Amino acid sequence: MTIPTEPIGSIPRPAELIDGMQQLAAGRISQDQMRNLYDRAIRDTIRRLEETGSPIITDGEQTKPSFATYPIHGLETLAPGGVTIPFADGHTRQLPKLAAGPFQYRTYAVTYLEEAKKHARVPVKQAVISASALSLLYPQEGIPGYSRDAFLADLLREAERDIRQCLARGAANVQIDFTEGRLAVKLDPSKQLLRSFVDLNNRVLDRFTADERSRIGVHTCPGGDHDSTHSADVDYAELLPDLFRLQVRNFYIQLASERNRTRVLRIIKENAEADQRVFVGVTDPIDPKIETPEEVRDRVLEAAEIIPLSQLGTTDDCGFSPFADDTSTARETAFAKIRARVAGTKLAEQALTSTTTAARPQR
């Protein structure tokens, strides 16, 4: 009996890399020096993720400016003053806004995947940002000569290309980051915004075959940044029924930090289709306490009482550092939590195998 386990994506950057980013912005180091720092960080991250025993890894998003803005970082058609996202502790993140069309990605996720595959000895997954998140770039006041419909057509094309290139270059799977899903319910309790987001993402997914969609997944969480969240107060019951309308095979769902995990698991069971796999969060990146393998095992066994084993996997609640400047979680802590997830998942496999064997009738 095997329970698949996967990371979400980001790992806190080494101190020398964060310092290098600041030095580069100030013009005190060269691009070549920065590339050397990036290369060292990627190599070290991949080596240490493989040492955790994780069967699938990422590059830790070491060279992404953030999980959300990597496609548009440095794009010349952007202006400040876009959508502001407030977090529970009072800090905010603000997106830029598009000032002119046509819209096109400046960086595609496949560039990160190709670099990671040079160094990895196990399969590599690749996270991409959702079309719905990037749809927030279009300003409410519109753009002269570039309609919202024209923007969405360009966005859908670019989002498809971002995913398709990763599949073509051998990604174990592609994970669409959809952290704005729960936030959409908070912003619009009628859920019209959420449903428009789901519909927009499905317009991208409709461009893929069923076989291709079996290698695509969606990640949801209440947003994690500087040990705070933007929508943890939103009831999962308001999100999950619509989330499972997304036409993908894999769902990566934050769960470890939920107050009533059993209730959430029951909602998942009620809404997940039989061919959909649910990777439940068993470690909490925001909590500085490192879970023990036994604690992880117990969370997996709790989930296995409700979710069929054929549909169950494990993951971390969220990325450990989705924004490059987030140093709230130590790099060592992230690797320790991942080791606990991998070991705890194996302990759960052993416990479930023993239970199944004991339950078999004797001949």
- Cis check for the bond before 288: say yes or no (omega within 30 of 0): no
pLDDT confidence band for 52 (50 / 70 / 90): very high
The predicted structure's pLDDT at residue 193: 98
Instruction: Please determine, for residue 104, whether its predicted confidence score (pLDDT) is greater than 90.
Output: yes
- What is the β-pairing status of strands 92-94 and 97-98? unpaired
Q: What is the pLDDT of residues 57-90, one digit of tens each?
A: 999 999 999 999 999 999 999 999 999 999 999 9
Residues 146 and 184: beta-carbon distance below 8 Å: no
In a domain? residue 198? yes
Q: What is the mean pLDDT of the chain?
A: 95
Q: How far apart are CA 354 and CA 348, in angstroms?
A: 10
In a domain? residue 7? no
List 225's β-bridge partners, or say none.
228
DSSP 5: B
Helical H segments across 169-249, by residue range: 180-187, 192-205, 210-213, 240-243
In a domain? residue 2? no
245 is in which domain, residue-wise? 15-359
Give the pTM. Answer: 0.95
- Looking at the chain, the whole-number percentage of residues with pLDDT higher than 90 is 94
Residues 107 and 42: beta-carbon distance below 8 Å: no
Instruction: Please determine, for residue 196, whether its predicted confidence score (pLDDT) is greater than 70.
Output: yes
In a domain? residue 5? no
The predicted structure's pLDDT at residue 77: 97
Residue among 69, 21, 11, 2 at smallest CA distance from 312: 2
In a domain? residue 300? yes
| Structural domains in the chain (count) | 1
Q: How far apart are CA 67 and CA 176, in angstroms?
A: 10
* Contacting residues for 74 by C-beta, under 8 A, at least 6 apart: 106, 107
Q: What is the pLDDT of residues 238-279, one digit of tens each?
A: 999 999 999 999 999 999 999 999 999 999 999 999 999 999
The H or E element that residue 318 is part of is none
List 143's β-bridge partners, or say none.
146
Can you tell me the mean pLDDT for 112-116?
98
In a domain? residue 184? yes
Q: Side chain identity at 61, as an amino acid letter?
A: E
Instruction: Please determine, for residue 1, whether its predicted confidence score (pLDDT) is greater than 90.
Output: no
The predicted structure's pLDDT at residue 360: 55
For 73, counting Cβ atoms within 10 Å of its Cβ (0-12 exposed, 13-18 middle, 19+ buried), the class is: middle
CATH number of the domain enclosing 242: 3.20.20.210
Residues 113 and 166: beta-carbon distance below 8 Å: yes
Q: How far apart are CA 229 and CA 257, in angstroms?
A: 11
> Could you give the dihedral angle defined by the CA atoms of residues 5, 8, 184 and 257, in that order, rounded to the nearest 10 degrees?
70
Instruction: Please determine, for residue 300, whether its predicted confidence score (pLDDT) is greater than 50.
Output: yes
The predicted structure's pLDDT at residue 325: 87
Q: What's the number of CA atoms in the CB half-sphere (13 Å) around residue 281?
A: 26
In a domain? residue 102? yes
The predicted structure's pLDDT at residue 357: 60
Instruction: Please determine, for residue 186, whether its predicted confidence score (pLDDT) is greater than 70.
Output: yes
Q: What is the pLDDT of residues 322-359, one digit of tens each?
A: 998 888 999 999 999 999 999 999 999 999 998 766 55
Q: What is the pLDDT of residues 4-26, one digit of tens each?
A: 999 999 999 999 999 999 999 89
In a domain? residue 10? no
The predicted structure's pLDDT at residue 43: 98
